[in-house]
Amino acid sequence: MNLLATHGPWIAAALITGLVIAFLMTKAIHRAGKRKKADAHELEKRAYVRGVNYILENDHDAAIEELTKVVQINSETVEIYFALGNLFRRKGEIDRAIRIHQNIILRPGLDEKTQMQAYFNLAMDYKKAGFVKRAVATFEEVLSKDRNNRDVMSELAELYEEIKDWEQAFSIRQRLAKAGGHKEDNVLAHLQAELGRQKMKENALSSAKKCFKKALSIDPACIDAMLSMGELHLDEGDVRAAIAAWTRIMRVAPQFANLVFSRLEQAYERLGRSETLEKTLREVLVKHDKDPNAHFILGRYLYKKGDPVGAIAELRKAVELNPTSLEARKSLGTALLAENRINEALDEYRSLLDRLDQGRKTYQCAKCGLETNEMLWKCPQCRSWDTIRAVAPPEPRPLSNSEETANNTKMAKSEDASTFA
């Protein structure tokens, strides 16, 4: 008691001092915590800005490095994980992209919109990796929850077309149009034409014919369906119906007339009415005298008919209109030899040799620029329908002196005209 009385004031002072020190330390720790959080937030913000800038500069590696810093500071930022997943997909690191999007899906308490976005991104990963079935199933999962998602429907349409599931592709394209997308009757018609050809391979000719008719009811100008309908008629033995289908193309879309000349030639020969082909071709040339294919087919027909002079005139026209046509030059050389016009034939064969190393691309996609030797209804590169166009052949490049000498040497060794027969 005496000790308390004697030392009480000192003990009280010590307790008060301790409390003050504890309070000050707590404040200091709190301020330090706030500074640390502020510093972390500042680092996060700077890394995020740098990451975005790197994305804009297309520097994927640097962007990934910066955005990884962001998620290390704040692992709750789902949007950054989405960005990282998409960057990994672009880089081709599909496994990492898939893991990121799968982990997002497994997060507890995730709202449905964010979850569907994760499923969509995961489907895009599968598509990029070539896992088509998984991609289709995942896109379908999203579409079951968001029935009017046009992005998902567009992706699904492409995938169904890729795996040649024409019925599903047609169905999803219809849904896309109803959901407010672009009305693409030409694409729907192509899909029915593809389905029809599939039925023809299965020998289901009746079903195939229904598909072609449906295609033409959707788009009466569908050349794809008209060509296939003619081939179906020919398979059935109805040659006249095949001719009617192909002749219709020349009326409604003369720019595609070259696609039917060989078919008509075959059909008229089966009927024993080759002379009708000549009449048809001459009618076409009245309006489309600049079509090298019509001149070529007519010239070839006239040669078979026994009219080499007429054949030479038509084949010369074909060569003038398309100087890189090797078939036309070869046929012209043959016709000239038949008339014993050896020097002219040698000139044509020399020109043919000059062009053997030149590209023979006659069609080009108006959207992506892909060049091809055949007429395609869908571009295999950009996957757009009806963008392939016939292009004018390039002018032949002038030969160097060494090339000219080499070709002259080749021709000197081939003076015997029978070599070209």
In this prediction, residue 159 carries a pLDDT of: 96
Asked whether residue 216 is domain-assigned, the answer is: yes
Regarding whether 418 and 304 lie in a shared domain, the answer is yes
In this prediction, residue 345 carries a pLDDT of: 77
In this prediction, residue 57 carries a pLDDT of: 58
Q: Specify whether the CB–CB gap between 67 and 58 falls below 8 A.
A: no
SS (H, E, C) the chain: CHHHHHHHHHHHHHHHHHHHHHHHHHHHHHHHHHHHHHHHHHHHHHHHHHHHHHHHCCCHHHHHHHHHHHHHHCCCCHHHHHHHHHHHHHHCCHHHHHHHHHHHHCCCCCCHHHHHHHHHHHHHHHHHHCCHHHHHHHHHHHHHHCCCCHHHHHHHHHHHHHCCCHHHHHHHHHHHHHCCCCCCHHHHHHHHHHHHHHHHHCCCHHHHHHHHHHHHHHCCCCHHHHHHHHHHHHHHCCHHHHHHHHHHHHHHCHHHHHHCHHHHHHHHHHHCCHHHHHHHHHHHHHHCCCCHHHHHHHHHHHHHHCCHHHHHHHHHHHHHHCCCCHHHHHHHHHHHHHCCCHHHHHHHHHHHHHCCCCCCCCEEECCCCCEECCCCCECCCCCCECCEEECCCCCCCCCCHHHHHHHHHHHHCCCCHHHHC
Token pair listed for 346: 């040698």
Regarding whether 310 and 276 lie in a shared domain, the answer is no
Low-confidence spans in the chain with pLDDT less than 50: 1, 3-4, 15, 18-20, 22-24, 28-41, 44, 47-49, 51-52, 55, 359, 394-421
Regarding whether 236 and 330 lie in a shared domain, the answer is no
In this prediction, residue 90 carries a pLDDT of: 87
Regarding whether 353 and 283 lie in a shared domain, the answer is no
In this prediction, residue 18 carries a pLDDT of: 47
In this prediction, residue 265 carries a pLDDT of: 85
Token pair listed for 77: 């930022």
In this prediction, residue 128 carries a pLDDT of: 93
Regarding whether 259 and 206 lie in a shared domain, the answer is yes
In this prediction, residue 32 carries a pLDDT of: 46
Asked whether residue 9 is domain-assigned, the answer is: no
Tell me the residue range of the domain where 217 lies: 196-288
Domains contained in the chain, number: 2
Regarding whether 349 and 234 lie in a shared domain, the answer is no
Report which of 220, 240, 242 is spatially closest to residue 229, judged by C-alpha positions: 242
Does the pTM of the predicted model rise above 0.85?
Answer: no
Give helix 239-252 / helix 274-287 axis angle, nearest 10°. Answer: 10
Cα–Cα distance between 110 and 143 in angstroms, integer?
Answer: 18
Regarding whether 304 and 417 lie in a shared domain, the answer is yes
Asked whether residue 336 is domain-assigned, the answer is: yes
Residue 307 sits in a domain whose CATH number is 1.25.40.10
Of 262, 288, 314, which residue constitutes the final position of a domain? 288
Asked whether residue 107 is domain-assigned, the answer is: no
Note the pLDDT tens digit of each residue in 30-76.
444 444 444 444 554 554 445 445 545 566 676 666 656 655 555 56
Regarding whether 241 and 212 lie in a shared domain, the answer is yes
Cα–Cα distance between 252 and 245 in angstroms, integer?
Answer: 11
Regarding whether 419 and 319 lie in a shared domain, the answer is yes
In this prediction, residue 224 carries a pLDDT of: 94
